[in-house]
Amino acid sequence: MVIRMPTGAGTGAGPFHSQSNEAWFTKTPGLKIVYPAFPADAKGLLLAAVEDPNPVLYFEHKYLYRSLSEDVPDDYYTIEIGKAKTIREGERASIITYGLGVHWAIAYAEKHPEANIEIIDLRSLQPWDKEAVETSVRKTGRVLILYEDTLTSGFGGEIAAHLAEHCFSYLDAPIMRCASLDTAIPMNKELEEQFLAKARLEGMMRMLLGY
């Protein structure tokens, strides 16, 4: 069984239609959670979800429906659930993210090429690719976990806890999280922009790289 889950803010739809509630489900044993950021990944992960014998929740960001396009192969193909993708190689710091956060990270990296940022797109949250994340963090020594959900109890906290346990000796700075504010999502567009994690990404990266 596959349940498609339209999600996310950025469209001015207010608190009733803009929540990022993937963390509600990631702790449920037996559920698989996927969250693509690109059209080609969306197709491959959806077909993989249909083939999978487990129930799969398939999160798709509403803001990306009409704001993003790319060539998608016509052939039938699947992308393995639980495998992250390295979007950009870097040496100074890692941004671990998923969904719309991937595009925020790419925009930051393009604006600050001197920062030499590595970007990991998780693509799946349950299971999530611990090996890929650990490999990146061990290489760069600095990590920012970027996610659209509210900071408290967001899935980024699970990633941070895992890295604290398994990569502590490789870190040159504290693990940092950049997430949305712990409040309901405003209807007003300007307030919504202040609510989202993107509004704090520049400042958080300055702290991380300057530590």
Q: Is omega for the bond preceding 15 within 30 degrees of 0, making it cis?
A: no
Are 178 and 201 in contact by the 8 Å Cβ rule? The answer is: yes
Name beta bridge partners: 33.
Answer: 57, 126
Distance (Å, whole) CA 182 – CA 161: 20
Distance (Å, whole) CA 107 – CA 100: 11
By DSSP bridging, strand 85-88 and strand 117-121 are: antiparallel
Are 90 and 37 in contact by the 8 Å Cβ rule? The answer is: no
Confirm whether 17 is a catalytic residue: yes
- Catalytic site positions: 17
